[in-house]
Each structure stands twice: as structure tokens, then as C-alpha cells.
Amino acid sequence: MKTDTNLKHDVERELAWDVRIDDSAIGVAVHHGVVTLTGTVGCWADKHAVEEAAYRVAGVRDLANEIAIKPSWDESVSDSELAEAIRQAMRWNHGVPHERLRVTVCDRGAVTLAGKVDALRERDEAERVVRGLAGVKSVANQIEIAPATVSSTKLRETIEQALARHAAHAASHIAVAVDGDTIVLRGNVSSWAERRAAVGAARGTAGVTRVDDQLFIG
């Protein structure tokens, strides 16, 4: 186990290494193994990049992201112009079924996404695309997931096969349970990367509306 001092040092070095991040604007504190991030960034995408970088560090299990967002967008951009930019950005991303989604923008940058997709990963990707655009103040993701068209047994088998492809090392240590349209993952993984791959495999499976991540790193 790393000490709090060592963990803080490793997270700070990871932030400095990531070219997407201005680490001079980010503070890192560690207490009893819990990492707290503070500071100010310009958009949601930057805040997520810092969180993602911290989780890449071995030993990081729990994290509090208290980074504030101070937008630097042009206040002259209208909601209609932002809606057009969002639609165009979704068209460019092949992971977003944009033709099945509706976009509403109001109050100078408050975005609501609606519609229906096949998998949580598509829902996640649509929100990620929107969050990265300048001018977006908030995102309400109301996109629904189409219900599974296969049995619970088949759904579990599909996810187990995906785990074998995406997180082969960890797959044998992960138990998959199906509770209605919710997938429960239990077991141990060796790193945050394996945990993210396992959860990603479940979220990418059609018909899954929720993933209960009970995986433990260690």
C-alpha cells in the first residue's frame, strides 16, 4: 500500500505528464487513501480529463472531484448556434446515433438530451461529446435505453464474452449477475484500467440500462 504522501506525488506527476491538463491550476490532497482534486478548469471535458488521469494511478481507489468549472466561452453565442454545433458534433461521432436523439438548449447553454438508444455506451458518448463543447453550462441526459430483446441468461453470456475480449486478465475473477435490466459486477481487479474495461463491456451491451459496479481493486 502506498502512503498518502507517495500517492499524492504519483497523482501530481500523472497530471503533469498528461498534455491535456494544466496541472498548475489543480490541487491534489490525499487523506487515508482518498484523493481530493481541487482547482479551476474551463469546461467539463477538462474536469473529466483530470479525474481520468488521477484514476490511472495505481493505488487510487476513492476520489473526490471538487474542481470548479469557470467557463471561458463567448457570451455572444446564442442557444440556437450552440444547438447547431451540438448536432454537428454528434454527426461527426460514429458512436452516437444522432438521428435518434433530440437536443434542447435554453438559458444560455443548458442542454437537455432526449431520445432512445440501444446501449449505455451510446448514451455516455452522446453526453461526452456535448460536455466537450465550448458554451455548454450543464447537461441533463434524459436519453433512454431500449429494453433487452434476449433472455437474462443470454444477456449474461453476452457480457461475459465481452469481458473476455476487453478485460481478459480480470474476466475469470468477475461474477456477472442479471437483475432485470441491471447488470451487477462483483469480484477483484488489479487496476482501475481493468475495472473501467469491465464496466465498459457491460455498458456497451445492448439492453443494459444500469450497471451496479461492485468491483474491488486490489
Is 74 inside any structural domain? no
Is 93 inside any structural domain? yes
pLDDT, tens digit (0-9, with 9 covering 90-100), for 141-187: 999 998 877 788 888 888 888 888 877 777 778 899 988 778 999 99
Q: What does pTM read for this prediction?
A: 0.66
**Cell 482518498 -> residue:** 34
Q: Can you read off the three cell numbers belonging to residue 7?
A: 500517492
- Structural domain boundaries enclosing 90: 79-145
How many domains does the chain divide into?
Answer: 3
* Final residue before a domain boundary, out of 48, 69, 90: 69
Is 56 inside any structural domain? yes
Query: C-alpha dihedral over 171, 191, 15, 63, to 10 degrees?
Result: 100
Residue 177 sits in a domain of what CATH number? 3.30.1340.30
Burial class (CB in 10 A: 0-12, 13-18, 19+), 171: buried
pLDDT, tens digit (0-9, with 9 covering 90-100), for 82-136: 999 999 999 998 889 999 999 999 988 889 999 999 999 999 999 989 988 877 8
